[in-house]
Structure 1
Amino acid sequence: MNTENKLPILRPEDKPAIPEPADTAAPAGEKASRWKRPETHEEKMLFWMRVTGICAILLAVLAGAAAVMLLLNLSQLGEILSHLNSASVELEEASRQLSQALQSLNNEGLQELYAALEQIQKLDMDSLNRSIESLAKIMEPLSRIFG
């Protein structure tokens, strides 16, 4: 086995202790932070590998939660789709009935309207007015008696 191309395995116990510079030490009375900025290439790689791992875990949890929510709502989605389907069938039926009603109105209603207009045109308005005047003259003495 060729070991020349392999990177050495770093373990925390193999890491040499690097003393913290005096200017970055915590001031007196303050608690020293556990987090220290990565300085070497290996520390930076380890830091970014940890960040990537945490992000991957969070994404997996998010995807799992979304999948569970989708599965739980799948039955509701089927119910909603069935309601939409029945509503569309009812709307088609109502549209068909409305169309038939409008056609019958156009055919029958207009014919009846034209027949009524023809009857009105046949009336002799002058003789109708004379009849109304004579009726008013007859009713005048009756209205004095009862009124």
Structure 2
Amino acid sequence: MSIVRPRLPLLALALVLVAGGCAVPAASVISPALSSGVPVVAQGSGGGQADSFWVARYDDVVQAALRAAETLSLDLEEKLVEDDRTTLRFADSKSKEVELVIELRTATVTRVGFDPKQTVSVGMARLLGQQMAHELDDAGAFLVDWGE
């Protein structure tokens, strides 16, 4: 029996709403991920910073971010790889930047964070996050399916 994964109408990076300054109740940030079966939750962590936690392997999330940026024709401006942490900074053709930090939390949980102080284009960050979820879903890289 094969698992049919629902298409992702909304990325769990609804967290970018928080980064954009909108006050969003925690339940409304988490519920899109739950309703679409995407194993991701998002939260604001104060000061406009936003985090999401993905049930996917760290390396898969990093690769999904790079593929998503390529799909959206974003230029990779910087890639900083540290122990269990990768920072990626992308820019569009207008030099508007999106920076995300991807961190290993457990063998099966990866954190993706956007810092609005470093991310100039919140809309592009939201789009990038949604494309990342599509990339992970298409690759079968989510380790659970909450849509079952």
What TM-score bracket applies, with the shorter chain setting the length? under 0.3
Radius of gyration: which is bigger?
1
Q: TM-score, normalised by structure 1?
A: 0.19
The structure whose residues are more often strand, as a share, is 2
